[in-house]
Structure 1
Amino acid sequence: MLSIGEAASTVGVAVSALRYWDERGIVRPAERKGGKRFYGPDELHRLAAAKMLQDTGLCTLDEIAAVLRGPEHGDWRAVVRDRIAELVEQQRKLAIAETFLNHFLRCPRDHPIETCPSLRDYTTRVLTEKP
């Protein structure tokens, strides 16, 4: 069993984060002795999974909680499916942004936004396709 400080150091989060996650019911300590929290291997596994999901910056704490709590607290798979759909849409938008940025770098024009005919054609198509 690891103290809260040892568990926080092992996982790479602040002690305050573990306290907060405990208060929210995301990852509870295995036991408490004398008012102190202690974490075992199962809790460390859950903490590491929570940290991994949080590190992406793409999952909310509520989504992380849903996944960690499992089926007894709702349809965690629906939460994951919704997050995946949002990630797919974000990837689509990032690919468009990458295409534009690469075009800006390759464009021989000094000011592509104002003078690039290819870019102007694209934005015109986008604007006319809007409902």
Structure 2
Amino acid sequence: MLPDRHDHPPGHGTGHRPGPAQAVYGISVAAELAGMGAHSLRLYEEHGLLTPARSAGGTRRYSDDDLARLARIAALTGQGINLVAIARILDLEDANTALRDRNEALTAERDQLRRDRDSG
């Protein structure tokens, strides 16, 4: 269950949940939701594993995407993998995701071109 948040961004009072990339959680809430200490979140940021958004005042703000990344980091550290190796694994996973997304976009574009050619 998510804690009640009273620091919603402007226009957010409609009862809708934030999108997965919308940074709404402070560090203490994010740490609690991730099941780890705030010091771990700071350490992961220091090692480049996580880059939370910052408020205008410089306060760290975490998103559901950040929480998913923290779960992945926790799984990897639980396997005994060090932070330098985790950084490399996450970089490779991110690159793989970007390549898959690009491949899907190119496939969709190709399919649309074929449909246009066949219908004309």
| TM-score (normalised: structure 2) | 0.54
Cα deviation code 1:87-127 (max 9, x no counterpart): xxxxxxxxxxxxxxxxxxxxxxxxxxxxxxxxxxxxxxxxx
2: CA distance, partners of 1:15 / 1:62? 20
Residue 71 of structure 1: how far off its partner (Å): 6.4
**Aligned residue pairs, count:** 71
Match of 2:87 in 1: 65
- RMSD over aligned CA atoms reads 1.8
4+ residue runs of structure 1 moved beyond 3 angstroms?
Answer: none
Q: Which has the larger radius of gyration?
A: 1
Identity %: 34
SS of 1:2's partner is coil
- For structure 2, list consecutive stretches of 5 or more residues without a partner in the other structure: 1-23, 96-120
2: CA distance, partners of 1:14 / 1:71? 25
| TM-score (normalised: structure 1) | 0.49
Amino acid at match of 1:65: A
Are 1:8 and 2:27 an aligned pair? no
- For structure 1, list consecutive stretches of 5 or more residues without a partner in the other structure: 74-131
Higher relative contact order structure (alpha carbons within 8 Å, sequence separation ≥ 6): 2
